[in-house]
Amino acid sequence: MSTEVPENPLAVSMIGLLTGGWVAQAVSVAARLKIADRLAHGPRSAADIAAAVNADAPTLHRLLRALSDVGIVQEREDGLFSGTPLGDLLRSDVPSLRGYALLSGSSFHRDAWSALEHSVRTGEPAFTHVHGQEVFDHLRGNPADGETLNAAMIALSGEFIAPVVAACDFPPGHAIVDVGGGHGVVLAEALAANPGTEGILYDLPEVVDNAADGPLREALAEGRCQAIGGSFFDSVPSGCDSYVLSHIVHDWDDDRAVQILTNCRRAMRPDSRVLVAEAILREGPAASRIKWLDLEMLVMTRGGLQRTQSQYEALFARAGLRFSGIPAHSPTFTVLEARPA
């Protein structure tokens, strides 16, 4: 008679933590192969999917059965695999988090995280240690990596940030500047949710040159939006009502963050406002996934970090601004409003 020996639950939990990177890589591969797209219209066999994505059928079956244990696909009793609501977040034909999954599996990002110990010991970015240059310099010289990061930011903005910003009060006639707005996902949703408003997408010239092919194409065609190239370290467009910085300030150390905010302050009218949309760290020891995003800033950027509300208020004060409220928030992102002091 066999005897079943119970597993040590702490050891099981630890193994789960230590293999978390394996899961991330498997999910990223599923995103790259567009597995969710193939399952969008019904169950299919591993061999059928493999033929469609140019993969080895027995090996893809091994991947799919592992992904079924984390809910990305469902393995059925008849041997077929079907899609799931969670897996649908990896589809390429609808707004999703696929871009973020591709970033998680990319070598330039993964290699930087492999040097986390270097950052912890020195306080310096692991990315620079591994790649020999700061992340934004690397991205300018490696367009494919830049597109991977842009796709991740579009995914993150569309799913988490844009709805929060769109919930802010933007009355008709209001002029919104999306400072460092990338491809314009946040501004596009704010304009769509607030009829009668107009906007300016402000980012580096090589970024805004592609705005007409992105989420703002309709607003640009209708004349509700302009795309202006420049650096927020030099200046921002002046005389507008709201200056939105979505997921921007956390990339920079305090001095450079104050420089960006100061340039916004100089451009503002007395009745203008700055809206900073960020994942805000809670004060104290409460559990939060934002602590992991803070480590991402440590690994990837020189001086970037997630901040508490009081830390943002201190940045505002240094830039000649005063904190004036929280017009919108979600469990993940918060919009902090500041006005001229």
Q: Give the integer Cα–Cα distance in Å for 53 and 34.
A: 8
For residue 250, give the nearest of 261, 239, 240 by alpha carbon.
261
Q: Give the integer Cα–Cα distance in Å for 99 and 148.
A: 7
Instruction: Provide the token pair at 108.
Output: 């330039």
**Is the separation of the CB atoms in 72 and 90 below 8 Å?**
yes
Q: Give start and end residues of each alpha helix (H) in 116-233.
A: 116-122, 126-131, 135-141, 143-156, 162-166, 185-193, 205-208, 217-221
Instruction: Provide the token pair at 150.
Output: 């842009």
Q: Give the integer Cα–Cα distance in Å for 130 and 153.
A: 22
- Residues facing residue 154 across a β-bridge: none
152 conformational bin, left if phi > 0, alpha if psi -120 to 50, beta if neither: alpha
How far is the CA of 44 from the CAs of 77, 107, 125, in angstroms?
A: 13, 30, 44
In the set 131, 138, 250, 329, the catalytic residue is 250
What's the farthest any 2 CA atoms get from each other in the chain? 82
Q: What phi and psi, each to the nearest 5 degrees, are found at residue 328?
A: -165, 150
Identify whether 183 is a catalytic site residue.
no
For residue 185, give the nearest of 209, 206, 165, 169 by alpha carbon.
165
User: Known catalytic residues?
Assistant: 250
